[in-house]
Structure 1
Amino acid sequence: MQSLFQILMLLLDVVWFFIIAHVIMSWLINFQVLNLHQQLVAQIWYGLNRILEPLYSPVRRLLPPMSGIDLAPLVVLLGVFALRIILINNAALFY
């Protein structure tokens, strides 16, 4: 059961990394540091969008429109942290 706990924590860490990379990349694209006309940048950007959109879309439906500010990544990050806290506090069940 300990391996299940470690796998769940690893998955949450990977999701956290993807969200942080997506947020940083969106800032760099919006400030025109990165260009989507470059093939590698476009592939990474669209790959991250395809991975994270299933997490963002339910949250975006619940949040009110914020006039151009997307708070879905923040809400999903808070959810990931909440799941980590729940798993760590209940880690004794996995041992």
Structure 2
Amino acid sequence: MASLLQILLLLLDVAWYIVIAHVIMSWLISFQILNLHQQFVAQIWYGLNRILEPVYGPIRRFLPQMGGLDLAPLVALVGIMILRIVLINNAALFL
């Protein structure tokens, strides 16, 4: 059962890095360092959007409008950390 805990923590780590990659890529696109007219960049961007939109959508409906500021990735990262803390604190259930 300890391996189940490790697998869940690994999945949370992967989700964490995917959200961080999406945030960094959105900054690079906003500052025109990356160009969506390049096929490789566009494929990565649209792939990340397709993965994360089911997560961000409900969060965006819950949060108030903040103009051009999107806090959904921040809330998603906090949610991932909360899940990680809960799993680690309840690790005895997995042993």
Q: Report Cα offsets for 1:16-57 as digits up to 9, x if no partner.
A: 000000000000000000000000000000000000011100
**What aligned pairs does 1:24-43 form with structure 2 within 5 A after superposition?**
24-43=24-43
Q: Secondary structure at the match of 2:66?
A: coil
Counterpart residue number, 2:17:
17
State the number of aligned residues. Answer: 95
Show structure 1 runs of 5+ residues with no match. Answer: none
Output the amino acid matched with 2:8. Answer: L
**Residues in 1 aligned to 2:82 and 2:40: alpha-carbon distance in whole angstroms:** 33
Counterpart residue number, 1:76:
76
Question: What's the CA shift for 1:65?
Answer: 0.3
Show structure 2 runs of 5+ residues with no match. Answer: none
Q: 2:45 aligned with 1:56, yes or no?
A: no
Normalising by structure 1, we get a TM-score of 0.99
**Residues in 1 aligned to 2:34 and 2:75: alpha-carbon distance in whole angstroms:** 25
Q: Secondary structure at the match of 1:69?
A: coil
Aligned residues: CA RMSD:
0.4
Normalising by structure 2, we get a TM-score of 0.99
Counterpart residue number, 2:88:
88
